[in-house]
Structures are given as structure tokens and as C-alpha cells.
Amino acid sequence: MTCLLRPQDPKFPEIPLPDGEVVTVGRGPLSKIKDSRCSRTQLEFRANYKTRKVSVKQVGPNESALNGTPIGIGIEEVGKENDSVDILFGEHRYKIVFEGLPPLESIPVKPAKIPKMFSSKDQFKKDGILPKVGEWKSKGDQLHIYTYGDIIRRAKANIAGFDMDGTIITTKSGKVFPKDDKDWRFLYNSTVQKLQTFFEDNDNFKFVIVTNQAGMANGKTSLEGMKKKVEAIVSQLGIPVVVYIIPGRNEYRKPVTGIWNLFVEEYNESVEPNPQESFFCGDAAGRKKDHSLSDRLFALNLGIGFKTPEEFFMGQKPQEFTMPLFQPRKLLDNPPSNDHIQYPDSQEMIIMVGFPGSGKSSFVKSQILTRSYVHVNRDTLKTAAKCLSVADEALKSGKSVVVDNTNPERKDRAEYIKLASKSKVPVRCFKMNITHNQALHNNRFRELSRENPGQGSVPAVAFNTFKSRLQEPTKDEGFTDVLLVNFVPTFSDDKKRELYGKYLLEK
């Protein structure tokens, strides 16, 4: 009777694991591994012949894995027969093999130990804390809420928030997006135990899951399938929780904080959680491999702590990450001005250049139209020919003109410059001094400020198109001057100012 590690690559030797003995595997003569990234004491194994299980503890600094899931330095996992172990994550793979032992069915196995907080099943059943199925509520198609356990509605001082996909679970298939509602597994072998232990030891924390689910808005994921999936996950976790599922783009979608405000009001008895202790854990953290920054920015918007799954579940150190290029709070704290721009008493033409959402039309309305310039705008006049016709008539009648279009290319501007030249009227260019990221932020702010957030926003392709077509305006086009116009935000109320100062984009 024996237990051994059988290598996937036959050029490496099998490694015996005697019953109850600690066997250290790493770079060296036992394994024949020569990879310098592999520590000489990378993993410690201890086989239990009676249960046919093997404890696997990572000792080396570089990641090892059990069944394709990273273990983490100092973390001990438990493998079973036919499980795979990567001495280095994705490399030097071995299979746990038991040979010459009696059939597993004949070995008496003690019932699994139930964590302390869940050991009194009768008490929980009596209190209704852990029902078989929780309760679903929806706010139209904007938000779906699942509560599991009555105590979740009681106010608590601290909140432990978690993303779902890539944080608590991952796909069983290994694909980026799940094939169906059954294509999931817990991200780590220790996920359930870690969460149960945390909430057992920290009973002043409330468990909240907040998950963006764009797939539901575009029809790739059904509501019924998502409900079944969430119920299965929560049932296996066995912890009172409130789950927020957010389809589409609305005021609840991370990193916007509308969902947090709703949670405090409806599920925490209007008690604001302690920002020094509360935290949010998610995989969208702005690291090289991450798809976005939404989880980290959500925590920053709330002013609470942030952890990645690797930090919370595996005890790993924080990794480097990249913050957004546009920092809205800095703009509000140090707003620029446009005092450098002067307006002549004589006739002129102004041609605006700028991204959609750059504040171009707002500037024209507040600063130029009040000086009796004729407004030429494609959105209102509908066609390029009509815009040119209105501009020509205004110039001939001695009036000043402002061309309020995006005008990214020289050819867009040339036709107006030609009209002005024919009437011997000088032309200035006002270019909005705003980055691509800030324009996107402005667009999202405008979208969220509407009565129906998420409707009527400018699509991202319009911003990319402008950026790719932009030819920087210069005097040699026929301009007497090219001036940069700063975006100076103004707000109708403090609530909108507060919203603008938050991170609104996911990247």
C-alpha cells in the first residue's frame, strides 16, 4: 500500500508519500526539478492513508496550485486521490495516486466537522437564520436582491463586501465567462472555510455581495439562471448574506455608490457602516491581469478599505496597480479658469474643437451666445449643408458666428474658414482642453444625472472615433489664434457635485 505523486511529464520520477510523514518537494534530487524559480522547500506533503487525503502546504515564495487553483505561501490545502498539484503554478504537474489500498467505500469516515458558528442546527432552524431558500426582490430590471437569513436586516457597525465572479467563485470550465448557471466553483479550496471563520470571529460584520452582471442586460444570462446560481452559492456558503445583482448601466453599477446607499437605508436600518473597519474585496483592482478597476474604485468612492481575493483568502501581499488618468476630485479641489480668453467688439468666427462630453456646448451657451454670436450646431441644424448656409448668411449680415461641432479634422474646419475668408472675417479656434478619460467621465456623469440613468448616453465608439480622427488645430489653417478652453464644472446642487467627484468609470 502506498501513496505517491505521479508526474505528468514521464522524464521526472514519481515521489513516494509515506503515511503520516512530511515530505518536502522542491528543486533538487528528489524531484529532478532544476527550475530556479522553484524553492528547494516549495511544498510540504503529508499523506493520510486512512482517509486517502493529502495535506499540501506551500512554503516557497512562488505560487503553487492544487487543481489549478493557487495555494499561497503559508497556506495548507487538502487534496484527494487523482487531484493535480502544480509545484509551480501551471508547471511541473503531478497527480496524487493511492495504490494497493482497500476500496474507499470500506473505510469508515467520520462526519465532516461543522464550523462552530453553524454547529447548532436546531437553534438556527428555530431562529429562521439559515432557511433552505432566501427571499428575492427586484427593482424593475435595474436591480435584483437576494437575502438569506433574517438577521441580515439588523444593523451592524461594519460591512464586509465582496464581488462574486473572480472573487468568491470562478468558472468550472476554465472559460472567462460561464457556459451556464452550473458552470462555477469556489475560487479557492479554502473559500467556504475562510468566510465562515471570518464571520464567526467577527460577528459585528455583515456579509454583502455586490456583483455587476452586464451579461443579463445583453441577454447572455437569464434572470432565472442567475437566481439558481446565486441560491446554490449562498446555500453552500451557509452564511447570512444580502446579494445585489446589477444588470446593465445604472446608478447601482459599481463603482458608482447608489447600491451602498440603498443597502444602508433598507438593509442596515439607516446606520452608516464604520469606514475604518468596513472593506470591499474584489478582483477588478487595476492590476496588469485585471479586466477593470471597478471594485477598487467602488471602495475608494465609499472611503472604505479594499482587498483583492489573493489578499483576503490567501494572505498575499498587495500587488502593484494603476489608477485612472483622470482624478475628478483634484479637478473639483483646484478648478481652472478661462480668464485668458477675451472677446473683441468686432465681427469674428469661432470654431470649436473637442470630444463629445468635453463641455463644448455648455461653454458656448454660457460664454459665447450671451455675446450675440450666431450658433451653428449640427445637432440642431441636422445637416452639414444647413450649418454652412446659416454660417454664411450670418457672416454676410455682419454677425459673429460660433461653430459648435466636434470638428476633429482640418477638412471639417476648412469649409468654415473659407466662408470667413470670403467675408474677410478673422477666425479663432477654441479647443477644449480635456483628455479622453475626462470626456468619458463627463459623459457618464451626464448619463447618471438624467431622470433615467443609463439612457441616452453617447456611445464609447464616438469618443474613440474622435480621438482617431483628431488633427490638432494650428494657425497655418487660417486661424488668427488657437486657444485652449478649460473645462470648468458647475453644478445645480451639492448632490451632483458629490457625484462628479467620484470615480464613475470602471477603467
CA atoms of 48 and 224, how far apart (whole Å): 42
The residues pairing with 248 across neighbouring beta strands, listed in sequence order, are none
pLDDT at 115 > cutoff 80:
no
- Grid coordinates representing 210 are 455586490
Same domain for 305 and 258 = yes
Shared domain check, 149 and 84: no
pLDDT for 454 beyond 80: no
371 is a domain residue: yes
Q: Is residue 321 assigned to a domain?
A: no
Cβ pair 131, 180 in contact under 8 A: no
Of 167-181, 269-283, 362-376, give the lowest mean pLDDT range: 167-181
pLDDT tens sequence across 75-100:
888 999 999 999 998 899 999 999 88
Query: Does 58 share its domain with 182?
Result: no
3-state helix, strand, coil split of the chain in percent (to 5) is 30, 25, 45
Grid coordinates standing for 370? 450671451
Q: Name the grid cell of 454.
A: 443609463
Residue 367, CB half-sphere, CA atoms under 13 Å: how many? 21
Contact between 143 and 254 (Cβ < 8 Å): no
In a domain, 114, yes or no: no
Query: Is residue 307 located within the same domain as residue 159?
Result: yes
CATH of the domain at 53: 2.60.200.20
Q: What residues does 24 pair with on adjacent strands?
A: 44
Tell whether 139 and 252 lie within a shared domain.
yes
- Per-residue pLDDT, averaged over 103-126, amounts to 42
Summarize pLDDT for 394-436 with one digit per residue, the tens: 999 999 999 999 999 999 999 999 999 999 999 999 999 999 9
Asked if pLDDT for residue 249 goes beyond 50, the answer is yes
Q: What's the rounded mean pLDDT across residues 488-497?
A: 92
Nearest CA to 485 among 380, 370, 350? 350
DSSP element (H, E) containing 375:
strand 374-376
Q: Are 279 and 308 in contact (CB under 8 A)?
A: no
Task: Tell whether 190 is covered by a domain.
Answer: yes
**Predicted TM-score (pTM) above 0.75:** no
- What Å distances lie between residue 457 and 253, 434, 450, CA to CA? 15, 18, 10
CATH number where 427 lies: 3.40.50.300
First to last CA, the chain: 55
Kindly state whether residues 307 and 341 are assigned to the same domain: no
Same domain, 491 and 399: yes
Q: Please report whether residue 326 resides in a domain.
A: no
Assigned domain for 223 exists: yes
- Residue range 13-39: mean pLDDT, rounded: 93
Those residues whose C-beta lies under 8 Å from the C-beta of residue 132, and which sit 6 or more positions away, are 235
In a domain, 331, yes or no: no
Instruction: Report the CATH number at residue 302.
Output: 3.40.50.1000
Q: How far apart are CA 37 and CA 282, in angstroms?
A: 28
Those residues with Cβ within 8 angstroms of residue 88's Cβ, 6 or more apart along the chain or in another chain = 35, 37, 38, 42, 62, 63, 64
All cell numbers assigned to 125: 432552524
Tell me what the mean pLDDT of segment 481-506 comes to.
94
Q: What pLDDT is stored for residue 459 in this prediction? A: 84
Percentage of the chain modeled with pLDDT above 70: 93
* Residue 327 domain flag: no
Encoded amino acid at 335, one letter: P
Mean pLDDT of the chain: 89
Give dist(CA 285, CA 292) in Å, integer: 7
pLDDT above 90 coverage of the chain, percent? 71
- pLDDT number for residue 1: 76
Q: Would you state the cell numbers that stand for residue 416, as one nine-digit string?
A: 468654415
What's the pLDDT at 162?
98
- pLDDT at residue number 456: 56
Contacts for 153 with CB less than 8 Å, ≥ 6 apart: 147, 267, 269
- What is the C-alpha separation between 406 and 114, in angstroms, rounded? 64
For residues 347 and 364, give the distance between their C-alpha atoms in angstroms, rounded to a whole number.
16
Mode of pairing for the β-strands spanning 76-80 and 53-58: antiparallel
pLDDT category of residue 217 using cuts at 50, 70 and 90: confident
Q: How confident is the model at residue 130 (pLDDT cuts 50, 70, 90)?
A: low
- Say if residue 136 is in the same domain as residue 89: no
128 and 101 in a common domain: no
Check whether residue 227 and residue 345 sit in a common domain.
no
Residues 99, 128 share a domain: no
Its domain, for residue 12, covers 2-106
Q: Assign 101 a pLDDT band (cuts: 50, 70, 90).
A: low
Place of cell 455586490: 210
Q: Tell me whether residue 455 is exposed, middle or buried, using C-beta atoms within 10 angstroms of its C-beta: 0 to 12, 13 to 18, 19 or more.
A: exposed
Please give the Cα distance from 493 to 112 (Å, whole number).
58
Is it the case that residue 477 has pLDDT exceeding 70?
Answer: yes
pLDDT at 411: 94
Residues pairing with 280 in the sheet: 161, 306
Domain count for the chain, please give it: 3
| Greatest distance between any 2 Cα atoms in the chain | 103
pLDDT at 143: 94
- 31 with 137, same domain: the answer is no
Closest CA to 377 of 365, 30, 419: 365
